[in-house]
């Protein structure tokens, strides 16, 4: 049953550009990017118990590095991508050293503060980042000579990256290291007493999440061909966190569903309601009240109880 | 790890720990031989668990020294001490309640193995871990519940999972913090037999209030009160000592 559903989903994702218009193809591309970003945040929030309010740092910095490397330094896209991802991962390694001095609320505040610093820099260092005007005139890469300028080809590119990212993160959380990560989330003291190094486990996960956050940032800047300080803002981090929690943190499908939901609300509701944030808040409130563990676990529970009831 | 065989498995010298003005551990010195069975007794608030937490590294002492098999581990992190052969159970059950019994014990095994850093193979890849975990569960009589989540099993069984997790690590020093707390009479004798069957390469240090059961398991006894060692020695000597009666037995 679930296998059939998954197969239908896979096929419809693969052939989406053949039946959907450009608007929807672009929307789907954005959803894929948001999904990678939410999945990477979920490694911290859901599997590691590290609630971060600064994850947009990684998306934003990867995007800015790529933009700067290709415009100011005339680098090719391939090299710029490598520099961008390597730089973002290094930054995650450094941020992890600072933020993981604390857990819980302290961790949250440090991630928030670090991301605010970057956001401030992006605004104020205008000779580098062009400040509030953002960096314009960017191009999309041509992987293996295939131009990504039409919506369909960009969508397939994003789909390939997203499937790969999903698989890599799924392997990570189901690995034996993933079990230790969940163990440290649930009983850190016990884990230490059993011989595990909780700090190292958290730090490695933080760096890995930063890496995938960077990958989503790269896709983000390719898609928009533009980057602005808002992508580094707390709002951007909070939106992703909202998606993760609404969809179901600590599950693999949850962040994908949640991120898509936030994106759709943003795109559709903003057309009708000016204060779409308010609507997002209401929807979020509804989800938390009705399905406290998130949409994906909530629906699963509903389906099993319905099946149980019909028997 | 140390070339000459050290005399003591666990050696504590002049250990001090104060919380504000309250001295929870006051100049405590203890020496436990390899394979020894030591019972630590004392009224509530005597500093027994605080002492355990310093031995495991969860708490830093203000002064003094802790040695494991001759190595000074006073400034070692808890996980490093685990790799030195130190293992513990908790007074308040500290298990992974959403996971199966087998998974809980497997984590105990994984903690001391390099496979814990493995990032692309699932735990199930390591068949030897599963076999070993099941063997340990069998030892504590819970093999039939191996696939059940911890949240499904009874309190007394959880106590035995606590033990299984620690025993799976084949520790050289095992700290048991009230392993009999809250158990029924039948469960007590099960756990008692279990503790009695712990192999002799493991030194066991146990905090326990149930004297009837615990004294049978002990060779040596340490009486703590207000963070100080009051009496320390062979079981029968300590029991006969009038200070023990005064402090602990209340007459």
Which tokens go with B112?
């001391």
Which pair of structure tokens corresponds to residue A151? 């919506």
In three state form, how does the secondary structure of A145-170 look?
A: HCCCCCHHHHHHHHHHHHHHHHHHHH
On whether residue A295 sits in a domain, the answer given is no
Q: Which pair of structure tokens corresponds to residue B245?
A: 């009666």
Tally of structural domains, chain A: 1
> Does any domain span residue A2?
no
Cβ of residue B127 closer than 8 Å to a chain A Cβ: no
Residue A266 lies in a domain: no
pLDDT at B250: 60
B56 has a chain A CB within 8 A of its CB: yes
Per-residue confidence band for A311, with pLDDT thresholds at 50, 70 and 90? very low
Which domain, by its residues, includes A223? 22-232
pLDDT at A299 exceeding the cut of 70: yes
HEC profile for B92-156?
A: CCCCCCCCEHHHHHHHHHHCCCHHHHCCCCEHHHCHHHHHHHHHHHHHCCCHHHCCCEHHHCCHH
pLDDT on residue B249: 59
**How far A184 CA sits from the closest chain B CA (Å)?**
10
Structure token digits, residue A32: 């894929």
Is the pLDDT higher at B123 or at A272? B123
Q: Which of A174, A190, A208, A209 to mutate to test the interface with B (most CBs of B within 10 A)?
A: A190
Each residue's pLDDT tens digit, A235-258 = 999 999 999 999 999 999 999 999
pLDDT at A160 exceeding the cut of 80: yes
Q: In a mutagenesis test of the B interface, which of A49, A168, A176 is the best target, namely the one with the most B β-carbons within 10 Å?
A: A176
* Per-residue tens of pLDDT for chain B, all 251 residues: 444 567 899 999 999 999 988 899 999 999 999 999 999 999 888 899 999 999 999 999 999 999 999 999 999 999 999 999 999 999 999 999 999 999 999 999 999 999 999 999 998 899 999 999 999 999 999 999 999 999 999 999 999 999 999 999 999 999 999 999 989 999 999 999 999 999 999 999 999 988 888 889 999 999 999 999 999 999 999 988 888 888 865 65
pLDDT at A310 over 80: no
Kindly report each contact of residues A101-106 with a partner whose C-beta sits within 8 Å and lies 24 or more positions away, as own/partner: A103/A49, A103/A50, A103/A188, A104/A51
Question: DSSP letter string over A83-128?
Answer: HHHHHHHHHHHHHHHHHTTS-HHHHHHHHHHHHHHHHHHHHH-HHH
Q: What pairing do the DSSP bridges indicate for beta strands B63-68 and B10-19?
A: antiparallel
Find where tokens 């959803």 sit. A31
State the distance between the two ends of chain A, measured CA to CA, in whole angstroms. 17
Which candidate from A176, A193, A197 shows the least CB-CB separation from B123? Answer: A176
Q: Check if the beta carbon of residue A295 is closer than 8 Å to that of residue A258.
A: yes
- Region of residue B15 (phi > 0: left; psi between -120 and 50: alpha; otherwise: beta): beta
Q: Is residue A213 part of a domain?
A: yes
Give the C-alpha separation, A251 to A294, whole Å: 9
Model pLDDT for residues A41-74, shown as the tens digit of each residue: 999 999 999 999 999 999 999 999 999 999 999 8
Mean pLDDT of chain A: 93
All structural domains of chain B: 1-85+171-251 (3.40.50.300), 94-168 (no CATH)
A–B interface: beta-carbon pairs under 8 A: 89
Q: What is the ipTM of this complex?
A: 0.92
Classify residue A238: in a domain, yes or no: no
Judged against a pLDDT cut of 90, whether residue A276 lies above it is answered with no
């Amino acid at each position: 049953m679930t296998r059939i559903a998954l197969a239908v989903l896979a096929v419809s994702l693969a052939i989406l550009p053949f039946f959907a218009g450009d608007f929807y193809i672009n929307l789907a591309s954005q959803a894929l990017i948001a999904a990678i970003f939410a999945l990477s945040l979920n490694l911290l929030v859901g599997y590691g118990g590290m609630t971060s309010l600064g994850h947009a740092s990684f998306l934003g910095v990867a995007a800015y590095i790529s933009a700067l490397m290709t415009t100011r330094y005339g680098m090719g896209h391939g090299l710029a991508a490598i520099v961008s991802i390597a730089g973002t991962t290094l930054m995650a390694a450094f941020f992890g050293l600072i933020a993981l001095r604390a857990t819980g609320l302290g961790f949250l505040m440090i991630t928030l503060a670090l991301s605010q610093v970057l956001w401030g820099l992006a605004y104020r260092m205008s000779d580098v980042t062009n400040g509030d005007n953002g960096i314009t005139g960017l191009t999309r890469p041509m992987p293996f000579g295939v131009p990504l300028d039409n919506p369909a080809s960009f969508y397939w590119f994003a789909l390939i990256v997203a499937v790969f990212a999903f698989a890599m993160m799924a392997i990570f959380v189901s690995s034996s290291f993933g079990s230790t990560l969940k163990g440290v989330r649930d009983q850190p003291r016990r884990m230490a007493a059993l011989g595990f190094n909780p700090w190292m486990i958290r730090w490695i996960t933080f760096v890995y999440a930063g890496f995938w956050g960077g990958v989503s940032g790269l896709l983000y800047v390719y898609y928009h061909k533009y980057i602005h300080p808002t992508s580094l803002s707390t709002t951007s981090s909070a939106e992703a966190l909202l998606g993760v929690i609404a969809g179901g943190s600590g599950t693999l499908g949850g962040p994908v569903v949640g991120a898509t939901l936030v994106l759709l609300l943003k795109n559709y509701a903003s057309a009708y309601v000016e204060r779409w944030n308010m609507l997002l808040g209401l929807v979020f409130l509804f989800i938390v009240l009705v399905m406290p563990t998130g949409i994906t676990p909530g629906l699963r529970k509903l389906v099993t109880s319905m099946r149980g009831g019909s028997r | 790890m140390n070339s000459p065989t050290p005399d003591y498995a666990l050696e504590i010298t002049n250990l001090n720990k104060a919380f504000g003005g309250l001295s929870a551990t006051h100049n405590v010195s203890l020496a436990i031989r390899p394979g020894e069975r030591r019972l630590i007794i004392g009224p509530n608030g005597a500093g027994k668990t605080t002492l355990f937490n310093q031995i495991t590294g969860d708490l830093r002492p203000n002064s003094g020294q802790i040695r494991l098999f001759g190595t000074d581990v006073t400034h070692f992190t808890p996980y490093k001490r685990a790799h030195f052969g130190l293992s513990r159970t908790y007074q308040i059950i500290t298990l992974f309640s959403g996971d199966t019994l087998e998974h809980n014990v497997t984590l105990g095994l994984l903690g001391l193995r390099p496979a814990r850093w493995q990032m692309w193979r699932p735990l199930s890849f390591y068949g030897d871990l599963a076999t070993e975990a099941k063997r340990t569960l069998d030892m504590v009589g819970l093999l039939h519940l191996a696939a059940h989540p911890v949240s499904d099993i009874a309190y007394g069984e959880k106590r035995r999972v606590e033990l299984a997790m620690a025993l799976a690590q084949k520790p050289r020093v095992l700290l048991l913090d009230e392993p009999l707390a809250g158990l029924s009479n039948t469960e007590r004798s099960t756990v008692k037999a279990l503790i009695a069957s712990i192999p002799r390469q493991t030194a066991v240090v146990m905090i326990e209030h149930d004297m009837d059961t615990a004294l049978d398991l002990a060779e040596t006894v340490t009486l703590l009160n207000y963070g100080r060692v009051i009496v320390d020695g062979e079981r029968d000597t300590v029991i006969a000592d009038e200070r023990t009666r005064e402090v602990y037995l209340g007459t």
